[in-house]
């Protein structure tokens, strides 16, 4: 970090992560994984510096923390998000990354609870998540209510943060963009210092920072639920082929049978007199190679002769997938995120509850028409009025 102050160093690290958290950079690309690895090193360094400086203490409350120090509570969430998006090197690597993400998220929730940043309802959900229990009940009716409650809370927090932030980001922006809007920019860089609370950070609104921490808490609960499900799947999944594959005796037997019944010999085992007779007649087809050519050159020549009879692809796999997605040949959605997302009827119901707005009236009318169409359909198509097996 050279002579960069800690807030600017944190902002620089977050700025490098913005394309990844905005989903504009594919996680499978080498650039994304390299960026995540470098960012994780910087974030763990920031975390160690915060502990060394004693920024956070167990016997303090949120009112005792300066405005510039409050934003550093989010380091644990960013660490968890980076760990959750890394670990694509295999099953064990993925399990290790998910466990590190779980630890980082747990520390973040514990920090928010100790400083009483959360509301009583959010604190109860945080305690349940820390104890390894789901924040959403297994009862379908209660689960639906919890989903709607979390969706409504996240929407409300995003709108408040977007309206009160310095850069006025969109409500749908990633939390990284929200964090950057309250951190000092490079243009306001002070003199060389390792201070956590320079004068420039006073521009950040304390209320906005507290709202952002509550938003990160809501996102953390959803991430912990997804991590728990993925760890269960990985625990029950078989190990990779390279770990379980053993030497198959059938391969040896098959090789012996091939050498027994094949009439032709392997390349390079013929003697010159077996290729050309004494009178100059060619007995077998062969290729004339320079005497100085190595085996690699022979393999190259063989690859040029016995190559594919079709045209090789002219695009990468990522380009092919992007083209297929553009043409509509890739089905998206599904999984836990799709299951947790509110349905169309639930979204109409939520939008219609905002009385006094034009959008609420439009959504209310759409909801009424949908219910009326369904009632008309059920009246016209009575139960049991379908195929009666030709009995009239």
| Domain finish residue from 209, 236, 263 | 236
Q: Tell me how far apart the alpha carbons of residues 30 and 33 are, in angstroms, rounded to a whole number.
A: 5
Q: Each residue of 16-39: pLDDT tens digit?
A: 999 999 888 888 888 999 999 999
The residue-averaged pLDDT of 148-160 equals 87
Q: What is the pLDDT of residue 278?
A: 66
Is residue 241 domain-resident?
no
Q: Give the least confident one: 76-85, 273-282, 322-331.
A: 273-282
Is residue 259 domain-resident?
no
| Domain finish residue from 205, 220, 236 | 236
Q: What is the pLDDT of residue 381?
A: 84
**Total domains, the chain:** 2
3-state SS string for the chain: CCCCCHHHHHHHHHHHHHHHHCCCCCCCCHHHHHHHHHHHHHHHHHHHHHHHHCCCCCCCCHHHCCHHHHHHHHHHHHHHHHHHHCCCCCHHHHHHHHHHHHHHHHHHHHHHHHCCCCCHHHHHHHHHHHCCCCCCCCCHHHHHHHHHHHHHHHHHHHHHHHHHCCCCCCCCCCHHHHHHHHCCCHHHCCCCCCCCCCHHHHHCCHHHHHHHHHHHHHHHHHHHHHHHHHHHHHHHCCCCHHHHCCCCHHHHHHHHHHHHHCCCCCCCCCCHHHHECCCCCECCCCCCCCCCCCHHHHHHHHHHHCCCCCCCCCCCHHHHHHHHHHCCCCCCCCHHHHHHCCCHHHHHHHHHCCCCCHHHHHHHHHHHHHHHHHHHHHHHCCCCCCCCCCCC
Q: What CATH number does the domain containing 105 carry? A: 1.25.40.540
Please report where in the chains the tokens 């360094």 appear, as a residue: 45
Q: Each residue of 241-300: pLDDT tens digit?
A: 554 445 555 666 655 555 555 444 455 556 666 666 766 677 776 665 555 555 566 666
Same structural domain for residues 80 and 210?
A: yes
For the beta carbon of residue 91, count every other beta carbon within 10 angstroms: 15
Same structural domain for residues 209 and 357?
A: no
The residue-averaged pLDDT of 170-190 equals 79
% pLDDT > 90, the chain: 21
Is residue 86 domain-resident?
yes
pLDDT at position 44 over 60: yes
Is residue 311 domain-resident?
no
Residue among 204, 205, 212 at smallest CA distance from 118: 212
Q: What is the pLDDT of residue 264?
A: 46
pLDDT at position 97 over 90: yes
pLDDT at position 200 over 50: no
Highest mean pLDDT among 67-71, 93-97, 138-142: 93-97
How would residue 238 be classed by pLDDT, with cut points 50, 70 and 90?
Answer: confident
How would residue 188 be classed by pLDDT, with cut points 50, 70 and 90?
Answer: low
Q: What is the pLDDT of residue 259?
A: 53
Is residue 54 domain-resident?
yes
How would residue 62 be classed by pLDDT, with cut points 50, 70 and 90?
Answer: confident
The model scores a pTM over 0.85:
no
Highest mean pLDDT among 50-59, 167-176, 215-224: 215-224
Q: What is the pLDDT of residue 271?
A: 66
The residue-averaged pLDDT of 102-118 equals 90
Q: Give the least confident one: 230-234, 275-279, 286-290, 316-320.
A: 286-290
Q: What is the pLDDT of residue 334?
A: 73
The residue-averaged pLDDT of 55-65 equals 82
For the beta carbon of residue 18, count every other beta carbon within 10 angstroms: 16
Is residue 300 domain-resident?
no
Q: Tell me how far apart the alpha carbons of residues 295 and 301 are, in angstroms, rounded to a whole number.
A: 10
Average pLDDT of the chain to the nearest whole number: 78
Q: What is the pLDDT of residue 183?
A: 86
Is residue 326 domain-resident?
no
Give the range of the structural domain holding residue 367, as residue numbers without chain letter.
352-380
Is residue 121 domain-resident?
yes
pLDDT at position 203 over 50: no
Distance of CA 187 to the CA centre of its chain: 31
| Domain finish residue from 202, 236, 270 | 236
For the beta carbon of residue 77, count every other beta carbon within 10 angstroms: 26
């Amino acid at each position: 970090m050279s002579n960069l102050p800690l807030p600017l160093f944190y902002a620089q690290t977050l700025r490098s992560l913005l394309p990844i958290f905005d989903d504009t950079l594919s996680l499978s690309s080498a650039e994304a994984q390299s960026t995540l690895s470098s960012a994780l090193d910087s974030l763990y360094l920031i975390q160690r510096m915060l502990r060394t400086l004693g920024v956070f203490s167990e016997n303090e409350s949120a009112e005792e923390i300066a405005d510039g120090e409050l934003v550093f509570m989010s380091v644990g969430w960013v660490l968890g998000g980076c760990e959750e998006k890394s670990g694509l090197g295999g099953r064990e690597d993925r399990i290790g990354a998910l466990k590190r993400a779980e630890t980082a998220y747990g520390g973040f929730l514990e920090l928010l609870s100790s400083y009483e940043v959360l509301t009583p309802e959010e604190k109860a959900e945080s305690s349940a998540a820390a104890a390894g229990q789901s924040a959403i009940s297994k009862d379908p009716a209660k689960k639906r209510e919890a989903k709607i409650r979390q969706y409504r809370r996240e929407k409300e927090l995003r709108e408040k943060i977007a309206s009160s932030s310095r850069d006025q980001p969109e409500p749908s922006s990633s939390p990284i963009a929200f964090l950057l809007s309250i951190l000092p920019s490079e243009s306001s860089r002070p003199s060389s210092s390792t201070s956590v609370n320079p004068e420039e950070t006073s521009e950040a609104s304390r209320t906005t920072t507290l709202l952002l921490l509550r938003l990160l808490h809501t996102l953390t609960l959803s991430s912990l639920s997804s991590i728990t499900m993925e760890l269960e799947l990985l625990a029950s999944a078989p190990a990779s082929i390279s770990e379980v594959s053993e030497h198959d005796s059938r391969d040896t037997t098959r090789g012996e049978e091939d050498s027994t019944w094949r009439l032709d010999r392997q390349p390079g085992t013929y003697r010159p007199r077996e290729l050309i007779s004494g009178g100059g007649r060619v007995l077998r087809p062969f290729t004339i190679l320079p005497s100085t050519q190595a085996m690699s050159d022979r393999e190259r020549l063989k690859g040029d002769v016995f190559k594919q009879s079709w045209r090789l692809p002219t695009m990468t796999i990522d380009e092919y997938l992007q083209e297929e997605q553009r043409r509509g040949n890739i089905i998206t959605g599904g999984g836990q995120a799709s299951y947790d997302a509110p349905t169309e009827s639930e979204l109409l119901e939520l939008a219609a509850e905002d009385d006094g707005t034009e959008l609420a009236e439009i959504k209310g009318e759409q909801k009424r028409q949908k219910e009326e169409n369904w009632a008309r359909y059920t009246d016209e198509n009575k139960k049991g009025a379908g195929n009666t097996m030709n009995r009239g």
